[in-house]
Structure 1
């Protein structure tokens, strides 16, 4: 029974994945407009962030849409197809749950923030002006 269920969900992902990606592109929000100096400061802050994600995960899409709305150039790391990224996510956060935002503070301490709602709340609090 388990193999049948796995095949069903794998087929579902194969069929719905491209649809979700097209929908993401079509509904992509317009980014915030900031003056050059403010955007440069935001770009600098974003260098200490990395989003571990799967391309077709609906919760990851939610976070990516918010990143576009806030014009945040956060590095996206594919934890589904790249073993090194998945291993780093597992080692750092203790799970391979996505989306997960890796935050390195000014002192070099690393924090792992899981859950799309928590990530969106964090990004809005830190970058929304």
Structure 2
């Protein structure tokens, strides 16, 4: 029974995944416009951020949409298909739950922020529109 359930959900992901990605692209919000020097500072700050995600995860799509709206060039790592990214996430957080934002501070300390709502709140607070 368990293999049948897994097959069902895998088939569902294969069928719905491309539709979800298409919807993401078609409904992408316009990025906010900043002065060149402010955008350069935002880009510098974003170098300390990494988003661990699955491409077709609805919560990851929600975070990516907000990152696009805020004009944030955050590095994205696919924890579903990239074994290195998956093992980094698992080792650091104890789970492969996505989305998860890795925040590296200036002193080298690392904070992991899970849950799409918390990630979006953090991004909105750090990079106000």
- TM-score class, shorter: over 0.9
Q: Show structure 1 runs of 5+ residues with no match.
A: none
Q: Which residue of 1 aligns with 2:59?
A: 59
The Cα of 1:87 is off from its aligned counterpart by 0.4
The Cα of 1:28 is off from its aligned counterpart by 0.3
Q: Which residue of 2 aligns with 1:119?
A: 119
Q: Which residue of 1 aligns with 2:92?
A: 92
CA RMSD of aligned residues (A): 0.5
SS in structure 2 at match of 1:124: helix
The Cα of 1:2 is off from its aligned counterpart by 0.5
Residue correspondences, number: 129
CA distance in 2, matches of 1:110, 1:93: 11
The Cα of 1:106 is off from its aligned counterpart by 1.3
SS in structure 2 at match of 1:55: coil
Q: Which residue of 1 aligns with 2:103?
A: 103
CA distance in 1, matches of 2:85, 2:106: 23
SS in structure 1 at match of 2:71: coil
CA distance in 2, matches of 1:16, 1:119: 25
Q: Show structure 2 runs of 5+ residues with no match.
A: none
SS in structure 2 at match of 1:25: helix
Which consecutive aligned stretches of 4+ in structure 1 deviate over 2 angstroms post-superposition? none
Q: Which residue of 2 aligns with 1:43?
A: 43
